[in-house]
Each structure stands twice: as C-alpha cells, then as structure tokens.
Amino acid sequence: MKIFDYDVIIIGAGLTGERAAVAAHEDGSSVAIISLVQPRQSHSNAAQGGIQCSLDNMGEQSAGDDWKLHFDDTVRGSDWGADQDVVEQVTRAAPRLIREMEYFGCPFNRTSDGKIEQRNFGGTSVWRAAFAADFTGHALLYAIDQEVMRKGIEIFWRVQVISLILNGDRVIGCVAMDLRTGELIAFHAGSTILATGGSGKLYSESTNAIICRGDGQFLAYNTGKVPLGNMEAVQFHPTGMYPVWILLTEGCRGDGGVLRNKDHHEFMWDYASAKGNLASRDVVSRGMISEIRAGRGIEGDFGPHIWLDLTHLGRDKIISRLRDVHDIARDFAGIDVVTEMAPVKPVQHFMMGGVRIDIDCRARGVEGLYAGGECACWDMHGFNRLGGNSMLETIASGYFSGTTAAKDASGRTSGAGDLAAIHDEVKKQDEIIEELHRHDPEQNSFALHEEMAVLMTENVGIFRTGELLEAAVEQLLDIRARADRIGLTHKVRGRSLELEMALRIPYMVELALTIAQGALKRTESRGGHYREDYPARNDDEWLNRTLAYKQEGDPLPRLEYEEVVLTHLPPGDRGYGEKAPPPAKDK
C-alpha cells in the first residue's frame, strides 16, 4: 500500500483548491492536490458571468461602491441567512484578491481607461462584477493553475477520495482510489482541505458537471462528527438552457437581456417591481415558474419554458461580451441568439449549504479538517447567493483555508496510532469494495441515482410543500435501503464508472435526505427555500442555521439549529419589490 505524506493535502482542484494550494505553499508547507480530473477540467471552468468586488471602476454605474455596499447587497441577497462577520471579511478582502488574480494573469475585460471593467448583476446596487467576457471562471482557473504549476505543487488526478482517516477527533488524511488501476492509496497530512465543489447531481435537472456529486460533503458527513449547514438552501438559476440545462450566464441580463413569456411580455417587473429581470435568482426563478403555472410559458417537447431575449443587444455586443452564450446556444440548441430568443427554464445550480466551517475555514467537530468553496457552508450566502459571489467565495475561501491549514500544520507531528489508523481505514474501504464485487447486481447504482435525482427535482424544487417533502423523505429512505443491495455487473476495480457510482450512491442519497428533511422541518420561506404552505419569512422562529449530523444506524440526519451572526444589518426588506407568487392552479 502506498502512503503519501504532506503537510497539507487538498481534495479538489478547482478555483478553491488551487488557490488554497498556492496559499499553503507560500506559507512554507509541503502541499498536494487530489482531483477526479485534470485541474483545468474542474467545474470552476464553467463559471461565466463575473466575480463580485467593489473596485468602483464604472463611473456613475458604480459611484461610491465599497465593501459596505457589497456587504449590504450580500446580506439582503442571503435573506438574512448569512453570517455577517464572514460577509464582512470576504467583501473587505475582495478588491485585493481580484487584483491578485489579475497579477497571476487573469485577462479581465478593460474599460477605455484601462481599468478592470465591471458589469451589472442581479440583486446588486451598482455594477460590481469584474469579468472576462462570459468565460470568467475559465480565465481565473487557467491563471491560478499556471501559478500552481510554476510553484511545482504536486497534483494527483484521476483519483477518487473515498474516506477521511480519523485518529480520535483528528483528521489525519484520506483514503483514495486510483481510478486507472483501482488501487487504494493513502494520504497522511497535518491538514486536509475539502474543495470538491457542489452536489448538483443530486438533481436530474442541473447546470452542474457530472463530477459534482457532493464528494466533500459526504466525506465530512460520514465522520459522524462534522455537521452540514443549511442543506435545504438550494439555488435554482433562472436561465438554464432548455432542455440541456447548460447555464446561460446572468451576465446576459446584466448586459440588457430580458425574460419574456409566450406573449413576448417582459413579465419580471410584475414580480419584482424594483429590480425586474435583475432581482435575486430565487425571486426571478419563482417569477418564471409562476408564469409557466399561469399558462404563459412556451410549450416544448419536454414541457414549457420561457424566452431569454438578447436580440436587441446587437451582434457586436453579443460576440464581444457573450461569446460563450452565443456558441452554446448555436451548438446545443441550433439557435442564433443574435436574431432568435433562447429557451430557458430555472434549474438547480448551486448549493448554499455544505460542510459547516468557522470564519477561518476550520470544520466543526474535528481537528485537522478545513473546507472552502461550494462544498462548504462558511456561511457567506445564507439562503440565496448573489451571482458573482460564488467565484469570489472560491478565491477567498481558498486563500483563507490554505493560510489557516498551513499555519495549523506547522510543527505538527504524527500522533500515536496514526499509522494504525491509516491501515485500519484502508482495510475497511477495501472490504466495502470487495463486498460490492460479491453482491449480485440486484440493485443498479445508476438506476437508483436517476430515481433519486428525478424525485429531488419534482419534490424538493423551487416551490415546496410539506406534502411533497414528506413524500420525498419516505421515498429517499426506500432508495437508501435498496442502496445496500447494490451489486456490480463488471467485477473489476480499475476504469470502472460502475464502481465509482456504487461507492457514492448510498452517501448521495443521505445528502439528499439532509436537504429534504431540513426543508420539511423549516416551516417558513427564506431565499431559495420557498414553502407554499408557509410563504412568509419567520425571523422569530427561523432566523437560524440548520445543522445536520449523521446518525449511526439511521439514514435520517439529526437536526440542530444555531443562530446566525448579525453585526451591522438587522433583518428587513430585501429591496427587490417582490410580490408573493400566486398559488398553483390546482390549489
């Protein structure tokens, strides 16, 4: 058995993971990154529209912008579910972190006088999103990956981490499987950072890549010690391109695009009188589904959708600033957005919840574990994330987690029993794999995944009710029971997508249960969590964060609650002019 030893290991090679690696390396730690894919194939590459930072570069459109205004917009966007001390830390750091990415080589768009250009985004008071056309994630990821390579940081890719290794209450590394050979390998480290991205593939309709299966979340959850925060806080992006669900960036609407119903009416002003098409994502998504419910959607082969209209922007603007959108619509839908409207529908996009960490990115409940980016609940986003704040969170949490992890690992020596704990965990995981090989394929992991994902889309979506959520929990418990009877058709270890999924699916179902159960118990509406049977926000009872803990022998989580941190901005109106969505026709 191979055992690799580092001061800091990082699981995930997207923006968060690579920024953490650079930070830890600069503090003198030996660092390794473990990734399912090559770093430049990470899902960060798909982020399009921009990254929020108060540079105040856009004249009248951003006049007076500073961290305080960015802070206010973020807290209002979160529907007062965010920790305000974290929001302050990130918004204060944002201009420095973005200029640092510029130094690393990110080719941001420029104003006529050479400053970093910024565009308008939903839920913001001013034009704040710095951008590189509509491939900002791609540009940022390539820049930081170049820095990782320049520093000679080691990367293990095509490797799937399957468990964390604990010695008492300390995480001392992880067990991973080489996906080429099926060999189990161990990593021993003073600090372990989770940077695995989101869990969008819990849903059947998602903008997320196939690798976004919640690995980091269930690695922490499976310890039984680390809670997941606010898992019911799921974001649905208004403009997933119908019916392939590839994201069409919010930058489309920031640059002047509008949403239209079947009558070509620009309807979002009817639902958010102060912001219209650029209200927060939860408000816009509910407005779009309300139009569809009212019979004003456009019928298609896979159900109704809405139009995204860019035709009035002109070819030059679209090609120069929205080239990715133009090419995606052409290649995947046969549509020229210069002259035709694009079909869109709200679709799962982002998880606000995740591994609960403190302001310095240390995980709750154990020592030696850290997290950042979408797999974590820092909590910068509360119950709704503003567009562009996700890329900011990746860079910021990467910096802070890498710095903290390196500091904590400095001088840390192997504890008594570390080697025994490593061997025990490798043996345990080897036995799990061997048991899968012994089982007859009574249950197929891919079929169970599809059943779970469709259920989540239908029952735990934009509009939720107690009845739908109770049914989801009951059916998820049945799927989880059947997951114990998964077998493999192909009895091989290496290059086996079937084995990769079989190892994940029981834990993915348990993550789905944290979402459904958390949503069922939260009897209010806040941000992206909208209960039609409890349509009002209830600060008296629910100004708090859900913490979900894994229970031994019970697939349902144990739920606890903690107060959110309020520092500067007390709960109030979000300022979008939002009107309550009408009830469904069948109610």
CB 51 within 8 A of CB 129: yes
Beta bridge partners of residue 568, listed in sequence order: none
Residue with tokens 């980091």: 216
What is the helix (H) or strand (E) element at residue 7, kind and residue range?
Answer: strand 2-11
Nearest to 77 by CA among 545, 396, 394, 389: 389
Q: Let me know if 449 is a catalytic residue.
A: no
CB 77 within 8 A of CB 386: yes
CB 160 within 8 A of CB 503: yes
Nearest to 218 by CA among 456, 561, 504, 444: 504
Structure tokens at 148: 């990782």
Structure tokens at 559: 């739920």
CB 9 within 8 A of CB 174: yes
Beta strands in 59-147 (DSSP E): 118-119, 129-130
The residue annotated as part of the active site, out of 25, 253, 480, 574, is 253
Nearest to 185 by CA among 156, 212, 224: 156
Q: Where are the alpha helices (DSSP H) in 78-229?
A: 84-104, 136-151, 215-221
Q: Let me know if 558 is a catalytic residue.
A: no
CA angle at 262 for the pair 256 and 265, rounded to the nearest 5°: 45
Count helices and strands (H / E) in the chain.
15, 20
Backbone conformation region of residue 5, classed left if phi is above 0, alpha if psi is from -120 to 50, else beta: beta
Give the whole-angstrom CA distance, residue 277 versus residue 259: 7
Residue type, 84: Q
Residue type, 378: W
The residue annotated as part of the active site, out of 70, 119, 237, 326, is 237
CB 219 within 8 A of CB 174: yes
CB 519 within 8 A of CB 485: no
Residue type, 201: K
CB 557 within 8 A of CB 550: yes
Bond into 557 cis (ω within 30): no
Backbone conformation region of residue 586, classed left if phi is above 0, alpha if psi is from -120 to 50, else beta: alpha
DSSP 554: E
CB 326 within 8 A of CB 500: no
Q: Which residues are catalytic?
A: 237, 253
